[in-house]
DNA sequence: CAGATGTTTCGTCATGGTGT
DNA sequence: ACACCATGACGAAACATCTG
């Protein structure tokens, strides 16, 4: 909803709260427009507490910083209408809101569009390996043949020579990185456990997929409980990468050919497996989305700061020109 | 210090957009 | 048409701050 409100922010004072704390920050926008031709002064309070005065001296065709390319004025009007009649339409409120809140372009798209207009705005790369999404410590140590992310956000890089590197994106630098070597990286005997890994991480359940051969990294102690519920603090969770032929422990997600499913039980298991996989992917996607969103907000804030400086300069320039054009006549 | 209140973080669901 | 992805919305839990 917040981007719709931004559409109004230059004509109405708005105390804006990103809904349900999803954005974890507040940007207060108080605006006052004195009408046509008069400069509109807008106060933008950044989450850091800094107050930015954005004064529109010159009405340029340039879109507002906080406008998405697809501003939908109709939707804003609809929201206002919904708010007014909220008491009578309480039941359909949720559904209506969902309908009202149509999709906006992704942050990556918006930012890239912004950055193509303004040189100061950094681009969000298509591949996160260029930025903080992929910890630099992985690339610094070896040339990985594959990088995977676990369900708890850790990155696992499998390097040539069988070295597995695990890094925690939450920690900066090399501290979060742990490495281990597969002892039988050449040709593992069928059914044999390839490697056991004990990490100092306080994280709980681990699970990731390695396309092709080994399938699972499983925390034996915490099964598949959600990571935030796992109380493994201080313990040394163990992980195993198993060959697909081994009997998998409970909760292990593993691909199966759909054609081999017959019994209802197998179908149910398949459905469960698909659901688990979907949830896991969506979990990771949500994390990534939030990370992008934060980056997006940061970029917007920095752009506001840049525009503020620009604006100041223009005002000064205007004053100078005024002085030149209309010198005092006394 | 305990309870209230606010904030942050995370997982999940719903849904639109997009590629095949 | 379908699968998959991106993201807003929502609720729950953890954490922080305030208040009596």
Distance A210 CA to B18 C1' (A): 26
Distance A10 CA to B5 C1' (A): 32
The reported pLDDT for the residue numbered A274 is 87
CB atoms within 10 A of CB A260: 8
Give CA A105 to chain center in angstroms.
14
Q: Encoding tokens for residue A304?
A: 């506001």
Query: How confident is residue A2, by pLDDT bands cut at 50, 70 and 90?
Result: very low
Q: DSSP secondary structure string, A13-72?
A: -B--B-GGGSS--B-EEEEE--STTSPEEEEEE-TTS-EEEEEE-S--SSPPTT--SS--
Better-scored residue on pLDDT, A107 or A82 = A107
Q: Which of A108-117, A160-169, A319-328 has the highest mean pLDDT?
A: A319-328
CA of A278: nearest nucleotide by C1' is: C4
pLDDT tens digits, A162-190: 334 444 433 333 333 333 333 333 333 33
Distance A22 CA to C7 C1' (A): 11
Query: Chain B positions under 7 Å from a protein CB?
Result: 7-17
CB atoms within 10 A of CB A195: 19
The reported pLDDT for the residue numbered A311 is 96
Alpha carbons A247 and A269: distance in angstroms, whole number: 15
Q: Encoding tokens for residue A253?
A: 């997600």
Q: Which residue is nearest to nucleotide C10 (CA to C1')?
A: A20
CA of A228: nearest nucleotide by C1' is: B10
pLDDT tens digits, A236-249: 333 333 333 222 33
Output the CA torsion sign for A202, A205, A210, A213.
positive
* Close Cβ partners of A148 (under 8 Å, ≥ 6 residues apart): A155, A156, A157, A158, A208, A209, A210
Distance A315 CA to B8 C1' (A): 39
Alpha carbons A153 and A168: distance in angstroms, whole number: 7
Alpha carbons A158 and A199: distance in angstroms, whole number: 16
Alpha carbons A271 and A15: distance in angstroms, whole number: 45
Query: How confident is residue A110, by pLDDT bands cut at 50, 70 and 90?
Result: low
CA of A275: nearest nucleotide by C1' is: B12
The reported pLDDT for the residue numbered A328 is 60
Distance A319 CA to C16 C1' (A): 48
CA of A170: nearest nucleotide by C1' is: B9
Check residue A173 and give left, alpha or beta (phi > 0: left; psi -120 to 50: alpha).
left
Distance A306 CA to B9 C1' (A): 30
- Of A79-83, A154-158, A323-327, which range is least confident? A79-83
The reported pLDDT for the residue numbered A321 is 95
The answer to whether A297 and A25 are in contact (CB under 8 A) is: yes
Q: What is the rounded average pLDDT for all residues in chain A? A: 47
Alpha carbons A242 and A214: distance in angstroms, whole number: 6
| Burial of A321: CB neighbours in 10 Å, binned 0-12, 13-18, 19+ | exposed
The answer to whether A207 and A149 are in contact (CB under 8 A) is: no
Q: Write out residues whose CB is closer than 7 A to strand B.
A: A 20-22, 24-26, 95, 98-99, 102-103, 151-152, 226-228, 279-280, 282-283, 286-287, 290
Distance A20 CA to C10 C1' (A): 8
The reported pLDDT for the residue numbered A298 is 86
- At A3 the three-state DSSP class reads helix
Distance A278 CA to C4 C1' (A): 10
Q: Which residue is nearest to nucleotide B16 (CA to C1')?
A: A103
């Amino acid at each position: 909803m917040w981007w719709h409100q931004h559409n109004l922010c230059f004509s109405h004072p708005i105390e804006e709260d990103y809904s349900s704390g999803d954005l974890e920050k507040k940007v207060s926008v108080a605006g006052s427009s004195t009408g046509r031709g008069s400069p509109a002064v807008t106060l933008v309070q950044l989450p850091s507490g800094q107050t930015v005065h954005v004064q529109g001296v010159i009405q340029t065709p340039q879109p507002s910083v906080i406008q998405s390319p697809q501003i939908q004025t109709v939707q804003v009007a609809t929201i206002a209408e919904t708010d007014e009649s909220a008491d009578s339409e309480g039941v359909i409120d949720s559904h209506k809101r969902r309908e009202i809140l149509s999709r906006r372009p992704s942050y990556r798209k918006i930012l890239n569009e912004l950055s193509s207009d303004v040189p100061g705005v950094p681009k969000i790369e298509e591949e996160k390996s260029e930025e903080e999404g992929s910890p630099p410590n992985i690339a610094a140590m070896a040339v990985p043949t594959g990088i995977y992310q676990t369900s708890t956000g850790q990155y696992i890089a499998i390097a040539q020579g069988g070295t597995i590197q695990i890094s925690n994106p939450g920690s900066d630098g090399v501290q979060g990185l742990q490495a281990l070597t597969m002892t039988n990286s050449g040709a593992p005997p069928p059914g044999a456990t390839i490697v056991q890994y004990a990490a100092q991480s306080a994280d709980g359940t681990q699970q990731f997929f390695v396309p092709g051969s080994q399938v699972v990294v499983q925390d034996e102690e915490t099964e598949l409980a959600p990571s935030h519920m796992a109380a493994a603090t201080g313990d040394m969770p163990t992980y195993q990468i198993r060959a697909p032929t081994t009997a998998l422990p409970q909760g292990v997600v593993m691909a199966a050919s759909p054609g081999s499913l017959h019994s209802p039980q197998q179908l149910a298991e398949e459905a469960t497996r698909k659901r688990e996989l979907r949830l896991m992917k969506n979990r990771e996607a949500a994390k990534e989305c939030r990370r992008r969103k934060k980056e997006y907000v940061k970029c917007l804030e920095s752009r506001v700061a840049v525009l503020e400086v620009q604006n100041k300069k223009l005002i000064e320039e205007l004053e100078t020109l005024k002085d030149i054009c209309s010198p005092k006549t006394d």
